[in-house]
Amino acid sequence: MSQAMGMDFDTLRQAMADNQEQPEGPARNARAEQLLVEAEKLNIPLAVIEALGHQLKVYNYSSEKDKMFVPFARLLRMWDERPEDFDEYETHSLHWVFKWMSAGMLDQPHIPLASIEKWLGEMEHRYRLAGHSERAVRGAEFSVAAHLGDLGRAERAYTAWLAADRDTMADCHACELHSQGWWRAERDADEEALELWRPVLEGEYTCAHEPHTVLASSLVPLLRLGRLDEARAHHLRGFRLVRPMESMRGAYADHVEFCALSGNEARALELLAERPAYFTDSGDPRSRLDFMAVTALLMDRLTGLGLGDQPVPGPAGREWTASGLAVHARGEALSLAALFDARNGTSYVSERARGRMDQRPLVERLPLGVRSRSTRHLSPSASAAGSGSAAASASARSSAAVVESDAGSDPSSLSALLAEARRLSATRSPDAVEAWAAASRAAEGQELDVRDRAEIADHAAMERGPEGIELFHEAAELYAEAGDPGEALAARARAAYVLALTGGPEEALATVSELYEGVLALLADGGTGVSQAASVLVGRARILMLLVQEDADEDAAGSGTGDSGTGGDEVVGAAEAAVRELLALAEPHLSDVRMASRAAEARAMLGELAAHAGDAEAAAELLAQAAAAFVAAGLPWFAVEYESRLAGIARHLGDAEEAERAARAALEHGGPRLEPMGHAQLHLQLAEVLGATGQFGPASEHALEAAHWADEAGEGPTLGAWARHQLGGFLLRQGRWAEAAEILESALPDLTTDMHGDGAIVQTRWWLGDCLTELGEHRAAAEHWLRAADVARHWPEQRDHAMLAHLAAEALGHAELPAQAEQAYARAGDLWRGLGNVHGLIRSLRARAWVALRTDSGLDGARESMAAAVRECEEGLRAVSSSVGAEAVEASDAMAGSDAAEARPRLVAELGHTHRQFGDLIARSVPDDTEEALAHYTRAISVFASLGDDALDARTGAELAAGWLEADLLRPAAAAARARAVLSAYAGVDGEAAQARRAEAENMLGVTEKA
């Protein structure tokens, strides 16, 4: 507090201005109280008035709104006693905050209604005396009537409010439109509300708290109207705005409510956890009522999902579960509502609170894209909640399962289950898995014939992974006992394939080779059917394909020896022969869905072998044939894997249309049978395909789905983080800066070098810097760019490092941190120099000159940097002039890809711009030294003139700047000559630039003629 001691009035004013820029909250309020004490020491009435006004303002925008009545009462008393002590601004401010008092009284249930009505009359009287319109008065009356539920009076006041003239006491356009739209939404006119809010949402009208509250108020109306994309965007954009503002508990509650009503309960819990003080802050009872009501809504929702025992954030002092907090929050909300109703003499506030707490979800699932756990992962018992969000993750239960509950010991029911399971197996339906499981459960304790036991064991083995090998062998013995040696061999082949998958491909190949010989002999003798033989042949082909992949993996790792027992080329040849033999066996029997499936798989294997051989075109064609064959056989779900692979190959080949078609087909054919991870992977693949062709809107939709499904799969920190990274990039490319920033900030904590690569981390921070710059958050942008630069500094290629340092310097300058900006420009300049990028170096030097003016380097440092930029231009031009042939030019990054004829004009233009900026710098910094500035302008004009019409606008801009300096030097003739030169240059030239230049030149002529 030593700084505050002995303050004079100017120091006090600066201290209040500094405090106004601090974050909302008790610390800012306490500082305002201290500054009032300092003001009282000055014995200057206006100092006290300003300090009271400052105190009132910070109270109003904080959780301690109830404190603002005391300073206002003192201000009003001072006004009544000595109005001459108030200057024009403080007089306006005093009348302005009458509106705050009206709203503030409504928010405090201990203030009697009679006092509020009296205050309305007082406000009307004082406004009339001051000559103000009644617009603000009628707006305040509307707020009172709407709060009371007096709808007739509210409508009358609303009409009078809009009819009255706007004057200096009217709320800003943005705030008025928010209130008007809120009332239309309250009256079930959501479309009208959103139309009223449109100018605020589009940025036509803004203020310190708009569009913050409009975005929050629009969330539920948008959900009700089914405009879900807009609702999501408003949540992401709006929550960024209200998050740091303590006074916006009501708007914060709107975002919690939105999450609770859109299937984002886990996100809503995170929002509650961010603001623990909101549960107990008592300075604004009405916003606390709103917050407790939506907390009750959320907790009831979680309890309804079976998560009542889930630990949740709540008021400090105890551990809370969802069900416990539901009771507490509802009780608190209704107690607060009862206080308002007792004051108002109505039941309106309680009715509205109950209605808000008892809402049902408006959307079952609205993915937001931000990092959040699914409710399925909130607790171990969550999967039993039946939330519906994971309904698509499992295959539909077969009709056999319906029979299961009645099977008991009834043999006929068991027979029906077995028949249904066999039917589904014959059609290769994914529902066969559940059907056989149902039959197995029903068969427990019953006598079965050996064939039934064999099939049950066989299908049970298919679901057990490595543990199923022995069960396959058991099934094989039972098949043999049942007199089906071909199916016994097929079961053993299935066991061999599982063995190959679990690390024993060589042993598995030896086993399946014997089975292959045996089944072909059986087939030739009529001892088995084509289907059983195909089962063995497909097992053999799959094992050989695994060996091909194993060799490829070893080669990719640099450890391939080529002597894995079969040899690389030998195993590929054996695999292709096995696949073609399978295809030849299956193709004559395509009317059998099982054989059609084998033929389609064989074509897919041939496609994989073509890809292995580097023949991408053949691979694409064969995979497309395989996918089409699965679809034609009525087995689209089997096409998904190959369509996804095809999409990747097509993209590699540059066939964007085929890549998109295949990716969309994979999603369509996967449908509800996909697991959450499958959904995530396919949506992400399609997003990347679409993004690569500039379809950023559709790409962002699929990246959003990918992030959601990754969260559902419990892979939020891995695949989900990558999907969010991509989503943020797609949103950024659409200019949706706030949404992109929210998504990228959400992705960043999960991105790791090991999992995603440091390139992804750098790119995410780079994009974040771009977003935050557009949002005016320059200091945060600089931080992300600098942290990205620290990663990129270790890369062999340093261009990204240089660019990031340069961007960070620009942001630091915009953030009013010139010393740090100067350091960053120096770093960027060194990097550009090391890269040989003369253009980057020159621009960093010019920018460094401007920020140097605001640092200890001062004008001398600025001159030095600008002079260095001139030297670099001139040295670059000499280098270009002396170079012989394009090879010498291409030695520089700056010149790469261009010859001397192309490089020279660029450097000449840089020299012209440098002299122009040098002149600007001197003219602004040393007003008395106009001759030096004029010399630089003259040099810039000459340089630009050498470029002809390509630099016309730049030349005439320098000409006009020089003309104004000539006028300052009392050389009207010289100034007029420059103006006429500009007019002559644009004779017959159209366009905005030409029009602006002519207008300025004519203005200059007018000034010189008067002189």
Tell me the pLDDT tens digit for each residue of 529-540: 999 999 999 999
* 902: confidence class by pLDDT, cuts 50, 70, 90: confident
Per-residue confidence band for 17, with pLDDT thresholds at 50, 70 and 90:
very high
* Cα–Cα dist 902/979, whole Å: 32
pLDDT of residue 900: 61
Q: How far apart are CA 793 and CA 762, in angstroms?
A: 11
Question: What is the C-alpha radius of gyration for the chain, rounded to an integer number of angstroms?
Answer: 38
- Answer whether 258's CB lies under 8 Å from 230's CB: no
Q: Average pLDDT for residues 827-853, to the nearest whole number?
A: 95
Distance CA 118, CA 114 (A): 6
SS3 751: coil
Largest CA distance in the chain: 119
Q: Tell me, what's the pLDDT at 393? A: 33
> Using one digit for the tens of pLDDT, what is the confidence trace for 648-663?
999 999 999 999 999 9
Q: Whose structure tokens read 């909250």?
A: 25
Res 1011: pLDDT: 60
Residue 781 contacts residue 772 (beta carbons within 8 Å) = yes
358 versus 931: the higher-pLDDT residue is 358
- Which residues, other chains included, contact 813 with Cβ-Cβ below 8 Å and sequence gap of 6+? 821, 847, 850, 851
pLDDT tens-digit series, residues 323-342: 999 999 999 999 999 999 99
Q: Which residue has the higher pLDDT, 65 or 678?
A: 678
Tokens of 657: 């249309």
Most confident listed range (171-175, 454-458, 730-734): 730-734
Nearest to 278 by CA among 250, 258, 301: 250
Task: Tell me how crowded residue 481 is: count the other CB atoms within 10 A of its CB.
Answer: 13
> Which residues make Cβ contacts (< 8 Å) with residue 356, sequence separation at least 6?
257, 293, 294, 297
| pLDDT exceeds 50 at position 563 | no
pLDDT digits (tens, 9 = 90+) for 594-614: 999 999 999 999 999 999 999
Percent of the chain with pLDDT over 70: 92
The pTM for the full model equals: 0.85
Reference 372, options 750, 777, 767, 755; nearest CA is 750
**Residues 545, 556: Cα–Cα separation, whole Å:** 16
Residue 320's H or E segment, with its range, is: strand 320-321
Whether 560 has a pLDDT exceeding 80, the answer reads: no
pLDDT value at position 51? 95
Confidence of residue 550 (pLDDT cuts 50, 70, 90): confident
pLDDT at 375: 65
Q: Give the mean model confidence (pLDDT) for residues 942-954.
A: 93
User: Does residue 562 carry a pLDDT above 70?
Assistant: no
Question: In whole angstroms, what is the distance from residue 407 CA to residue 402 CA?
Answer: 10
Residue-by-residue DSSP string for 153-217? HHHHHHHHHHHSPP-TTSPPHHHHHHHHHHHHHHTT-HHHHHHHHHHHHTTSS-BTTBTHHHHHH
Asked if the model's pLDDT at residue 886 lies above 70, the reply is no
Mean pLDDT of 127-144: 94
Q: Phi and psi at residue 885, in whole multiples of 5°?
A: 85, 160
Task: Dump pLDDT digits (tens) for 805-827.
Answer: 999 999 999 999 999 999 999 99
Where residue 558 falls among pLDDT bands split at 50, 70, 90? low
**Mean per-residue pLDDT, 913-939:** 91
pLDDT at 884 over 90: no
Check pLDDT > 80 for residue 167. Answer: yes
Q: What is the pLDDT of residue 253?
A: 98
Tens-place pLDDT, residues 352-398: 999 999 999 999 999 999 987 766 666 533 333 233 333 333 333 33
Average pLDDT for 288-313: 97
pLDDT in tens, 958-998: 999 999 999 888 899 999 999 999 999 999 898 999 999 99
Q: How do residues 486-499 score in pLDDT, each as one tens digit?
A: 999 999 999 999 99
Instruction: Tell me the HSE value of 235 on the side-chain side, using a 13 A CA sphere.
Output: 31
Collect all residues with Cβ–Cβ distance below 8 Å to 826 and sequence separation of at least 6.
848
What percent of the chain shows pLDDT beyond 90? 81
Is the pLDDT at 405 greater than 60? The verdict is: no
